[in-house]
Structure 1
Amino acid sequence: MAYRDAKASKVRLLLFIASIILGIAAVVAIQLLSDNLKSNIKLQSKSLMGADYIIDARQEPTERAQAIIDSLQPNAKEVNFVSMVAFPKNGGTKLVKVRGIEGAFPFYGTLETQPIAAATTYQDKKGALVDATLMLQFKIQPGDSIKVGKITVPIIGTLKSIPGNTAISTSVAPTVVIPYDQIEATELLQFGSRKEYQFFYKAADTLNLEALEKKIEPMLDFEKADLDTHTSTSRRLGRRFDNLGKFLNLAAFIALLLGCIGIASSVQIYIKEKLIAIAVLKCMGASRKQSFLIFLIQISGIGILGGLIGSGIGVALQELFPLILKDFLPFDLLISVTAKPLVIGILLGLLMSILFALLPLLSTWYVSPLNVLRVDENSKTSQGTRIWVFVIILLFLFLFSYWLLQDALYALIFVGATVLTFILLGLVAKGAMKLVRHYFPKRWNFTSRQGLLNLYRPNNQTVVLVLAIGFGTFLISTLYFTKDILLSKTNVNQTTESANLIILDVQNDQREAVADYITQSQLPIISNTPLVTMRMHSIKGRLVSDIRRDTTRQIRRWILNHEFRTTYRDTLTPSEEIVEGTWTPIAKEGGLIPISIAENLAQDTKVTVGDTIVFNVQGVLMETNVGSIRKVDWGQLQVNFNILFPKGVLEKAPQFHVISTAAPNEQGSADVQRNLVAQFPNVSIIDLRQVFTLVENILDKVSWIINFMAFFSMMTGIIVLIGSVRTSKYQRIKESVLLRTLGAKNTQILKIAALEYLFLGLMGSIVGLVLAVGSSLGLALFLFQEPFVPSAIPFIVFIPSITILVMMIGLSNIRTVLHSSPLEVLRR
């Protein structure tokens, strides 16, 4: 009976199954992506690192650290740093990451070069391997040469890949590999240079890496060095992509939730249409249980079918994600289809269908055989049953969101926010119905009054449609506003208008010469910032060495080993704002030195205004107190500092400089870079034009993902919208044909329907958009900590588009009435 009835009602059930398919497809695609990421990270953990474990230090290892490194007998070593290089063939210059390697690194994975032999011969031939994109950009071939600092070396081969690199990191600073023993001759490692020493180890299969890490890590930590194993690196990388998975899962869950609304609304109307059939079945002797099971089996079967189709689409969809994410991943993502997401998809289809159809299904239990003669379309379940059904649905939503987020509090907040949105939409719909009834415009013409009456008379769809339209608009608009907030996080235009070249690592004795060259080139010197390196010696009277050994410490570990680059000046920049304490521009003689620290550093060090910090400035201890705390806009591409000293303290300390200028065009920028690198090989130059282009490309990819999820959710919302409006088709046909029988013209019937759906479309879209503005404001203030100015596009585009869509679907419902005689329609 369930099969026969479903076969006869397949057109009405089509939108019901579509609501399931899209939600399931999103969940399955993203679950498969998460599974593939985890399995790839696990399988390729050694290839990602190129070794079993690595010891690294940000500066040349101390004597004690070197003794530990040597005792473990490294199989290869490397020093890497960022520097400018030049190509004598055409005079081109570029900021690159120089990696000086000694030994047969990598032990796992491949050092992919062209020609292939270059990977093993470049050290013996004292040559360089240059990034493939860089070779194409400057039209360089193997056999040409590259100038690295004071030396010029032949290019042995093209570097296609090396373990650990991502497309984005090589876009910022392409990799150039040279032999380790050539590094000293470059004379690039000078005072203040940022560099990293790495020692690579290939371990025996019997070695317990976790035990080694526990034993060695504390000793290295004390010597400002670290040990990373391929297992700990894969765990860290896995956690990083877990956050990505959580974001995508959340978006998929929203699409799933829209599908649930579609199920609830379509089944509610579908069951109402079946009340006479159920009454007839009961007249023929069918029990409550039998009539209930007929439709339960029907809905369950459709849920399983929707789950199967959605899972199939999800398998196809997840093939897109590796293409989108390939630039962000340090490995090639190999796709495999696991059974778990497919099983989850089918079970979700079944559970969604039953849970969200349960309330209207239970109404079949209370249908009386007498309904054959006197149909009560408002047959309801008992209050207690309804409460229990809502509790079960909320529990399902909580458990599902907890499974996605792995955090009970976040799951509770998310479910609570979802429920609150629905409550607000429902209250608005109910309130609108009461307002229309109370202030009904009796003087309006007949068609306008009829259109308004449809909002609150029996068989009205006001609450259901406002929920569906409002929630769809809310989701789409929130995603659109969120994209605007994310794009505003990187505000590079203001910076590029003033400075577009930043010159780093200018030594003290080079400062005047570099400044003179810029002035002679008729370019402005926008800033000339001194940098002084230092470490924290003690915090609030406790030695950093003691804090480092304290396993119960609350201070973040990075602070204890970090070498801070600080500056001194008597003014604040536009990207800084004092939020606590008082800024002291010039230090007074005697007493503690008042410094200003950034908010994030104050939180991580657990210090506030008035606390003391002693710094080790290249061997000299300097006692300071926190005079003020600053809010720093780290999103702007300019030189910002965690620690700021007043003038009159650090002028005589060993220091180097960062100078910024502005070139009028790309050719001027290239000339400055080429000439400066020729005169001062140790300096590094960042062209903000190139960085801006890179940032735009990255943000375009992020925006694409956000837009894709918004489009996917929007498609689900449209399906739900079509389903919700179409399921009212048969009530509207009945009413419209009766009006036509009474003498109403086609134009009058069209106007009545158009006005009803116009009111519903406007109400749902406007309320959804207003709620989206509120939620986006909350995200901007509490999550992104950015100012929020709503874009006009959702108001101009979404409201009319959604309203017109609702009207078009609504008017298509009564097409039969307009093209057929009343008697013909009534017989149907």
Structure 2
Amino acid sequence: MVDWKWSLLMAKRDLRKTGGRLVLFVSAIVTGIAALVAVTSFGDNLSKDIDEQAKELLGADLSLRKNQPIEFPDIEDRAAKRALEVNFASMVYFPAVGESRLTQVRALEGDFPFYGQLETLPVAGDRDFRKGGRRALVEKTLLAQFGVGVGDTIKVGNVSLEIVGSLQKVPGQNGITATVAPAVYIPMDQLEASGLVQYGSRVNYVHYFQFAEEFDLEALIAEKEETWEEDKVRLETVQSQKESTGRSFQNLSNFLVLVAFIAVLLGCVGVGSAINVFVKEKLPSVAVLRCLGVRAKEIVFVYLVQIFIMGFIGSLLGAAAGAFLQFLLPLVFSDFLPVEVTVQISWRAVAMGTLTGVLISVLFALIPLLKVRKVSPMMTLRPDEATAGFGKDPLRWMVLVAILLFIFGFSYYLLGEWDQMFWFTGFVLFSFGSLWLLAVGIMKAIRTFLPISLNYPVRQALSNLYRPNNQTVSLLATIGLGTAMIGTLFFIQDQLLDEVRFADKEDQPNMLFFDIQTHQVNSMKAVLVAEGLPILQHVPIVTMGVAEVNGLTKQDNEELAEEDQRSSSMYNREFRVTYRDTLIATEELAAGKLLPFGESDSIFVSMEEGYAERNNISLGDEVVFNVQGRPLTTYVGSFRKVNFRRVSTNFLVVFPDKVLENAPKFHVLITRTDNDQESASLQNLIVRQFPNVLSSESEHDRGNP
């Protein structure tokens, strides 16, 4: 039996003398626990605020969206309030500065949002806008970009509107969305006058509904969902909006927590290193105690109590630092968040951080601390007896297994998915194992091959890497894993930037005009030629959907076994296709061949290889397309590899030439300008002559969009 009273008294006395030596041990815990508590608290607060502000995210109880005009009279009869939004991308023009910009135009009718509000400056801007007439609300980022303000004029299509308010916040929209696709709200009574909605225009019609509190919305959805699905009406409720938003930001939270957990693991290495040095300094004292008849387990308990106390203090300090640090995170991520995050202490996060800190203190301290059990009284005379047989100590391996179980368990707690947990822990173990082998190899190589001819300072410095009490393994593991984490973050950043880097070659197109109507094509080409610009591509685009694949409708597909099913998105999505008999620079034929129309009685289309593979499509499969109400039977004749990262009109499906010439369509023209000034001048010219035509460009000489 352990004499607990004696052990606690010894721990107290020894801690007063040697507690200062455990400062490194405490500091190793503080940083990791602070990061863990901060990001966990931030995640908890974000989840809570998404739940509480879910209605403000959608702005209504139900939204129904379709890309064609549609009415819901039976829903309107049951709703307390309704509103309609018609939104589409369009160029707008600021006459005061002579500049134009691609925006998201939203024509609004009704009192949307029903929950929350369109926050404007001045506050009266929203009220003035609701009166209708030639008034507009414009995103604040857009006003700042062009140096215009309330009272100035904006031209949307053929109509000039007075800016009556600067939009500060829109339900469900964050700062990044506002920057990439700034919104311009116009009254519904000005939509027809703008001339922007024409046959073939890409427009979304969104119906918003608010119901009485006692209304059974779930029953309504169950009643209508199948019909809406057949009509390709997309629905959103408060619950679905909350879940989708929660999933999106849960990924961010999980990523931050994993980064913090890696910081904790790096702290664990520091814990083990600090305790290893501490224990080695205590070995002579332990030998003396063994001579006095004190049992090994009592001595282990003495130092274990000290480690527990210091670990608890370090965990509390880290939790306190993390609770303070979380106040900064909403400021860092404010542009990404669609809700206002209320920062408050998450006691769950504090408790988890404190418990984690104490647990890792004990677990990672036990490995060096177990050496104390092998110290014999003979060490007072023979120092080499100190750690004899430690490598074969079964308790050591039990502790190592406990550490592995902790890493696995904590990873699963954070991620909640077995496959992700195995990937993450596998990466951690592989990294630590590789760095340990590297450190051992370096020490062995230096011991074996260190040249005697080196000068004294260099030789001594290298020799210290393998001499007793060296910290080579712990330092290399800590620095290596930290560098790997930072390097991974930079690698991800470069990958994301590379995904949008598409104007880095002089001969590559950098300006694209789309939504050009058929009667406007020749006039548009004439403008580009008059400006001395090349027409690099002219592409007609037809909108259609998939009705059947190999004779199977969407309903038939859902009845198949899961491994035989195609993704339901193939039946639900709206395809935009073109027609031609040749490949372009961003394409490469992967299988089959392009078959021009007329060489066979059938129509053979070309499909993007990856998309076909994801949907179990093979060469020769029959696909019936619904071309705006008319069925068109085709067969898959080839697969293409497509580089979607380059500025070009890339398509999942390409028809042979002459098949879709009479189908309703819009056109795309691609050109290249030499500099930003020429690009801006061209956009302003086009938006004045063709207000419905949209343009997209990339920054010159930098390769960023």
TM-score by length of 1: 0.78
From 260, 266, 277, the equivalent of 2:268 is 260
Determine the structure 1 residue equivalent to 2:3.
Answer: none
Q: 1:572 to 1:320 in 2, by over 3 A?
A: farther
The separation in 1 between residues aligned to 2:123 and 2:474, in whole angstroms, is 65
Q: What amino acid is aligned across from residue 258 of structure 1 in structure 2?
A: L
Give the letter aligned to residue 57 of structure 2.
L
Which residue among 132, 140, 157 is the counterpart of 2:140? Answer: 132
* Residue identity matched to 2:396: R
Structure 2 residue runs of 5 or longer lacking an equivalent are 1-9
Amino acid in the other structure paired with 2:127: T
Report what 1:294 is aligned to: 302
1:135-154 matches, cutoff 5 A: 135-154=143-162
CA–CA separation in structure 2 for the residues paired with 1:157 and 1:679: 27
CA distance in 2, matches of 1:232, 1:242: 15
1:570 partner amino acid: D
Structure 2 partner of 1:598: 608
Q: Is the 8 A contact 2:408 2:425 kept in 1?
A: yes
Separation in 2, partners of 1:36, 1:602: 42
- Deviation (angstroms), 1:224: 0.9
Contact 1:45–1:230 under 8 Å retained in 2 = yes
Deviations 1:784-814 (A, max 9, x none): xxxxxxxxxxxxxxxxxxxxxxxxxxxxxxx
Rounded Cα–Cα distance in structure 2 between residues aligned with 1:455 and 1:676 = 69
Query: Equivalent residue for 1:122?
Result: 129
Are 1:29 and 2:35 an aligned pair? no
2:543 maps to amino acid: T
Q: Give the equivalent residue in structure 2 for 1:576.
A: 587
Structure 1: how far apart are the matches of 2:457 and 2:129? 85
**Partner amino acid for 2:85?**
E
Q: Hey, what's the Cα distance between the residues in 2 that align with 1:617 and 1:393?
A: 61
1:538 matches 2:538: no
**Aligned residue among 236, 247, 250 for 1:239:** 247
CA deviation map 1:528-551 (0-9, x unaligned): 111111111211211235447889
- The answer to whether the 8 A contact 1:272-1:377 is kept is no
2:205 paired residue number: 197
The residue aligned with 2:11 is 2
Task: Return closer, same or farther for 1:496/1:72 CA change in 2, 3 Å cut-off.
Answer: farther
AA at the equivalent of 1:566: V
**TM-score for both structures, normalised by structure 2:** 0.91
Q: How does 1:75-224 map to 2 (within 5 A)?
A: 75-126=82-133, 127-224=135-232
Question: Are 2:407 and 1:392 aligned?
Answer: no
Aligned: 1:228 with 2:236: yes
Q: Are the structure 2 counterparts of residues 68 and 599 from structure 1 closer, same or farther at C-alpha, using a change threshold of 3 Å?
A: farther
Percent identical pairs in the alignment equals 41
Larger deviation: 161-170 or 28-37? 161-170
Partner residue of 1:56 out of 46, 61, 65: 65
Structure 2 CA distance for partners of 1:368 and 1:549, relative to 1, 3 Å: closer
Please list every run of 5 or more consecutive structure 1 residues that lacks an aligned counterpart in the other structure.
Answer: 697-828
Residues 429 and 330 of structure 1: is their aligned pair in 2 closer, same or farther, counting only changes over 3 Å? closer
The answer (yes or no) to whether the contact 2:503–2:700 under 8 Å persists in 1 is no
CA change 1:38–1:496 in 2 (3 A) is farther
Look up the match of 1:557.
568
Q: Deviations over 1:236-294 (max 9, x none)?
A: 11011111112112211111111111111221121111011122223334332321111
Q: Distance in 2 between matches of 1:143 and 1:691?
A: 36
What is the distance in 2 between the residues matched to 1:354 and 1:389? 10
Q: Which residue identity is paired with 1:349? A: G
Please give the per-residue CA displacement for 1:692-714, whole angstroms capped at 9, x wherever unaligned. Answer: 89x67xxxxxxxxxxxxxxxxxx
Aligned length: 691
For residues 4-30 of structure 1, the C-alpha deviation after alignment (integer angstroms, 9 at most, x for no partner) is: 333333443222111111111111111
1:471 equivalent in alignment to 2:481 = yes
> CA 1:315–1:629 in 2, change beyond 3 Å: closer, same or farther?
farther
Q: 2:413 aligns with which of 394, 403, 412?
A: 403
**Is this contact kept in 2: 1:22–1:255, CA < 8 A?**
yes
2:270–2:474 contact (8 Å) kept in structure 1: no
Quote the offset at 1:80 in angstroms.
Answer: 0.9
Q: Mapping of 1:691-710 within 5 angstroms? A: none
CA distance in 2, matches of 1:613, 1:300: 68
Q: Which residue type is aligned with residue 414 of structure 2?
A: L
Give the structure 2 partner of residue 66 of structure 1.
72
Q: Return closer, same or farther for 1:25/1:631 CA change in 2, 3 Å cut-off.
A: farther
Aligned position for 1:526: 536
Deviations 1:317-372 (A, max 9, x none): 22232222211222222212210111111111100100001121222223223322
CA shift for structure 1 position 468: 3.7
Match of 1:525, SS state, is coil
Change (3 A) 1:458 1:47: closer
Letter of the structure 1 residue corresponding to residue 128 of structure 2? T
User: Residues of 2 paired with 1:692 and 1:191: CA distance?
Assistant: 37
Distance in 1 (alpha carbons) for counterparts of 2:485 and 2:170? 42
- Point out the more displaced range, 449-458 or 233-242: 449-458
Q: CA deviation at 1:648?
A: 3.5
Q: Which residue is 1:419 aligned to?
A: 429
Q: Is the contact made by 1:143 and 1:154 (CA closer than 8 Å) also made in structure 2?
A: yes
Q: What CA distance in whole angstroms lies between the structure 1 residues aligned with 2:454 and 2:177?
A: 67
- The amino acid of 1:225's aligned partner reads V
Residue of structure 1 aligned with 2:313, choices 283, 298, 305: 305
Instruction: Tell whether the 8 Å contact from 1:84 to 1:148 is kept in structure 2 after alignment.
Output: yes
Deviation at 1:408, TM superposition (A): 1.5
- CA shift in 2, pair 1:450/1:102, >3 Å: closer
Name the aligned partner's letter for residue 575 of structure 1: T
